[in-house]
Structure 1
Amino acid sequence: MNTSFAYLLAAGVAGASLLPLASHAQTTAPAAKLTYTAPRQKNLSDEQLLDEVQRQTFKYFWDFGHPISGMARERSNVSFDYGDEVVTTGGTGFGIMAIIVAAERKWITREQAAERVGKIVNFLWKADMFHGAFPHWLNGETGKTIRFSPKDDGGDLVETSFLFEGLICARQYFTKDTPTESNLRNKILWMWEGVEWNWYTQNQNVLYWHWSPNNDWSMNHQIHGWNECFVTYVLAAASPRYSIDKKVYDEGWATGNAFKNGKKYLGTTLPLGFDYGGPLFFSHYSFLGIDPRGLKDQYADYWQQNQAHTRINYDYCVQNPKKYKGYGKDTWGLTASDSYKGYAAHSPTEDLGVISPTAALSAMPYAPKESMRALKHFYNDLGDKIWGEYGFVDAFSEEHNWQAKSYLAIDQGPIVGMIENHRTGLLWKLFMSSPDVQKGLKKLGLESPQLKK
């Protein structure tokens, strides 16, 4: 149920339950599980604990990946009204990045990783797409669209950008001259070249989120910043065949009431975004691949932006104005996730007393000490309630004595990827090494130490 905060606002349901929580009946995981199963262990070093959390969380994408498509299932419990076959486009992109991390850390072999990513790519090659963009959800058995909402039954440009964030990393990683790696590189390239980013502008200087063969442009959702969609504009500018002009970025993305900010919250100046920053996933999804270190343009220094967003979220939880049980230096992190009321876009301005582990753990590059302290508390002290087969459950509330029974692809993926970026910068190096990505960043006027002269 990974739904943008901006999308929730546009739909008029931000802060409300998007949909009733699904049944908690578990779907059947495919075969070929990792032999590794992890009971919690005490007295781990920081590095051992990071290994443990990344590896257990990776199992969501490996053991629980759809047996036919290899793609990431939307969630571990049955997706609302749809059953076991729902796979998620954006979550699969994050899952591909987790598979690369697993191969590099030798939890699986490179050959196993290439085979799984190749399986995903071969499936996508035949799946529904709309002017090159994939839908939010697919049927993992047939490749047919499963509609996300009554009119959202076509191309989803933002989910497609999260998918290609992972696929571009894969293309940069799997460079060997073997049939499997050559095939996946070629098909990724052909699909990448086929996304008609500029068509999704309707000849205007803004990108549109959705198009449907049944409903045309009736969703009418323009993609304005600041939110999780930064990577959508970067990839649209990077496209080798269907690139957007810089005007689309300046007059489309960099506009709206929630783009420029500049106000102080809890003592920290926030360059861009909603009051108090909004949910923390804004600083995670685009930046699994895009390296924010030293990344600047006329609007912001994006490292400073993401650090500020994280600091405000952390300080809010420490100050805990609503006096929720458990909040503090050990327990912080507000972002979109399941809750005791349904799915909600948790943030300082929409605080239900629910902590989402992905928020603090995926913030590891921006606040390493604070994130590590939260990780230790979640694992060592709360683990009996919130640690399970695929890492930490999606969310919990000590105030309401509630723990999710679910894991979501869109939340588990950034835990693996952002911790790895903190540790080695692996995904940042891969994504930023793409010549097309370099071209796109330059086209938009972005500066970065990673850009070649």
Structure 2
Amino acid sequence: MSGGGKSIGEAELLERLQHQSFSYFLHETNPKNGLVIDKTAPDWPASIAATGFALAAYPVAVERGFMPRAAAVERTLTTLRFFWNSPQGPEPDATGYHGFYYHFLDMRSGRRMWQCELSTIDSAFLLAGALTAGVYFDADNSAEREIRTLADQLYRRADWQWAQNRGATLTHGWKPESGFLEFRWAGYDEAMLLYILGMGSPTHPLPETCYAAWISTYRWEHCYGYEYLYAGPLFTHQLSHVWIDFRGIQDAFMRLKGIDYFENSRRATYVQQQYAIDNPHKFTGYSSCCWGITASDGPGAQTIKVDGVERQFFDYLGRGVPYGPDDGTIAPWAVVTSLPFAPEIVLPTINHYINQVKLTAHNPYGFKATFNPTYPVKSSNSCGWVSPWHYGLNQGPIVLMIENYRTGLLWRLMRDCPYVATGLRRAGFSGGWL
């Protein structure tokens, strides 16, 4: 592989990309409260999910030498103290309620922004990050003991049963103005982490019937020669795997299918590549080394005639494979996050994005969120339209899944988290490391 005009090895290439991606959390975090900005746009709010990814990334940064342990401890403590002490209640300007948190928070005050929802899934990412910190920072000193205590208290405070709203499955969230959202988590997706954390709670655990109700909504598909548990956007096959090592463990559904969720994500990754090779809509650039379709930023909601073909483009949207929507927008971060599942096709694609498409050139945080070679722009580069932003929700999985590929650090840490193991067992998982 090559980069920066000289040949470099796989380890150096991945370390460089990991370091660049982690720099987002160094520079886009409020040091007074630990909140991480959702994206690099002016006056944008913090994302609790991005903040959770930062909490999980600090241990990686310590291990990789990107950050001194003392600095990571200070950042982590600041973040956990903020969430523990911030206002919890039904007031519309609180930070959270029933142990869950609003999706977007003001970077300075930490209060709810945009009348957004109290988000169950984004709270799960935040709590997973806190639990990671609680396992990693294991020294016998006052600061690291406080990290462990706060992480435990935050997790125990989440009232998962309340978030069911008397239904069989979990709701997407709640608003003080209108109550629970009508949508519930159904169909295979990133909510695997949400359900496992809810099942493992020692204080307000989800009943075992809740997980069974969720998996009853699964959809098994046959696409491009692969049988797999379908979810269209690539990130849905990845984000729970950031924390949980699904290799060799199975629930009732996967025991019937004879595979595990790790293998399922490997197949979903190959379906993505095969879809790009097939390129049914004839988008520019799609190939065996140019794929990665997921929930992502886009060039804008508009219909334009391109080379005689009328094309519909979108803003931020849950793009998916093989049934769409798809407007030619590619997300490099989603490819990197599949690295543990299929390195044999991911590494050449990363190399292509860095060296042929030049997607990391002049970008301090590595890959920009997305690009679209089909969208007509006045540019000499082969990327076409390129998102002007970086997103914390993209940067974190890059750092963490590169590390899982290289050392399995996050997986090893969370194997030692008793709540995760309890949640998996109560959901019916067995085998392997369990």
> What TM-score, normalized by structure 2, do the two folds share?
0.88
Paired residue type of 1:170:
A
Superposition map of 1:118-157 within 5 A = 118-127=77-86, 128-147=95-114, 149=116, 152=117, 155-157=118-120
- Decide whether the 8 Å contact of 2:263 with 2:341 is kept in 1: no
1:108 aligns with 2:73: no
The Cα of 1:208 is off from its aligned counterpart by: 1.3
Show the counterpart of 2:309: none
Superposition map of 1:239-254 within 5 A = 239-251=201-213, 253-254=214-215
CA distance in 2, matches of 1:384, 1:231: 31
- Decide whether the 8 Å contact of 1:62 with 1:99 is kept in 2: no
CA distance in 2, matches of 1:432, 1:387: 38
Show the counterpart of 1:326: 285
1:344 aligns with 2:317: yes
Paired residue type of 2:264:
Q
Paired residue type of 2:212:
D
CA distance in 1, matches of 2:51, 2:5: 29
- Flag the 1:41–1:294 CA change in 2: closer, same or farther, 3 A: farther
Residue of structure 1 aligned with 2:335, choices 360, 367, 378: 360
Paired residue type of 2:25:
F
The Cα of 1:244 is off from its aligned counterpart by: 1.0
Show the counterpart of 1:294: 248
Residue of structure 2 aligned with 1:370, choices 327, 345, 350: 345
CA distance in 2, matches of 1:312, 1:375: 17
Secondary structure class of the residue paired with 1:169: helix
The Cα of 1:289 is off from its aligned counterpart by: 0.3
Show the counterpart of 1:24: none
CA distance in 2, matches of 1:282, 1:432: 21
CA distance in 1, matches of 2:233, 2:5: 31
CA distance in 2, matches of 1:239, 1:385: 41
- Flag the 1:280–1:111 CA change in 2: closer, same or farther, 3 A: same
Paired residue type of 2:385:
W
The Cα of 1:260 is off from its aligned counterpart by: 2.6
CA distance in 1, matches of 2:73, 2:358: 33
Show the counterpart of 1:425: 408
Superposition map of 1:2-41 within 5 A = 40=4
The Cα of 1:71 is off from its aligned counterpart by: 2.0
The Cα of 1:147 is off from its aligned counterpart by: 3.4
CA distance in 1, matches of 2:350, 2:359: 14
Unaligned runs of 5+ in 1: 1-38
Superposition map of 1:165-244 within 5 A = 165-217=128-180, 219-244=181-206
The Cα of 1:418 is off from its aligned counterpart by: 0.8
- Decide whether the 8 Å contact of 1:386 with 1:403 is kept in 2: no
Secondary structure class of the residue paired with 2:253: coil
- Decide whether the 8 Å contact of 2:127 with 2:154 is kept in 1: no
The Cα of 1:205 is off from its aligned counterpart by: 2.0
- Decide whether the 8 Å contact of 1:57 with 1:416 is kept in 2: yes
CA distance in 1, matches of 2:112, 2:75: 22
Paired residue type of 2:326:
D
CA distance in 1, matches of 2:137, 2:205: 25
Secondary structure class of the residue paired with 2:6: coil
Show the counterpart of 1:15: none
Show the counterpart of 1:379: 354
- Decide whether the 8 Å contact of 2:246 with 2:262 is kept in 1: yes
- Decide whether the 8 Å contact of 2:354 with 2:360 is kept in 1: no
- Decide whether the 8 Å contact of 1:98 with 1:417 is kept in 2: yes
Residue of structure 2 aligned with 1:267, choices 225, 247, 256: 225
Paired residue type of 1:74:
D
Paired residue type of 2:414:
F
- Decide whether the 8 Å contact of 2:244 with 2:414 is kept in 1: yes
Show the counterpart of 2:308: none
- Flag the 1:104–1:238 CA change in 2: closer, same or farther, 3 A: same
Greater alpha carbon shift after TM alignment, 50-59 vs 330-339: 330-339
Secondary structure class of the residue paired with 2:286: coil
CA distance in 2, matches of 1:327, 1:87: 33
Q: Deviations over 1:256-302 (max 9, x none)?
A: 3xx131x31111111x23xxx30100112111101121121111221
- Decide whether the 8 Å contact of 2:340 with 2:401 is kept in 1: yes
Paired residue type of 1:403:
V
Identical aligned residues as a percent: 29
Secondary structure class of the residue paired with 2:147: helix
1:42 aligns with 2:10: no
Number of residue pairs matched by the alignment: 395
CA distance in 2, matches of 1:147, 1:188: 27
CA distance in 1, matches of 2:341, 2:125: 21
Greater alpha carbon shift after TM alignment, 242-251 vs 90-99: 90-99
CA RMSD of aligned residues (A): 1.6
Secondary structure class of the residue paired with 2:317: strand
Q: Deviations over 1:144-177 (max 9, x none)?
A: 111364xx2xx21111101111111111000112
CA distance in 1, matches of 2:359, 2:395: 19
- Flag the 1:222–1:338 CA change in 2: closer, same or farther, 3 A: same
Q: Deviations over 1:304-354 (max 9, x none)?
A: 211111111111012212222211122111111111121122222211111
- Flag the 1:89–1:384 CA change in 2: closer, same or farther, 3 A: closer
Residue of structure 1 aligned with 2:423, choices 415, 419, 440: 440
Secondary structure class of the residue paired with 1:392: coil
CA distance in 2, matches of 1:337, 1:42: 32
CA distance in 2, matches of 1:318, 1:102: 36
CA distance in 2, matches of 1:144, 1:381: 43
CA distance in 2, matches of 1:386, 1:207: 42
CA distance in 2, matches of 1:243, 1:191: 14
- Flag the 1:148–1:41 CA change in 2: closer, same or farther, 3 A: farther
CA distance in 2, matches of 1:386, 1:352: 24
1:414 aligns with 2:397: yes
CA distance in 1, matches of 2:100, 2:282: 44
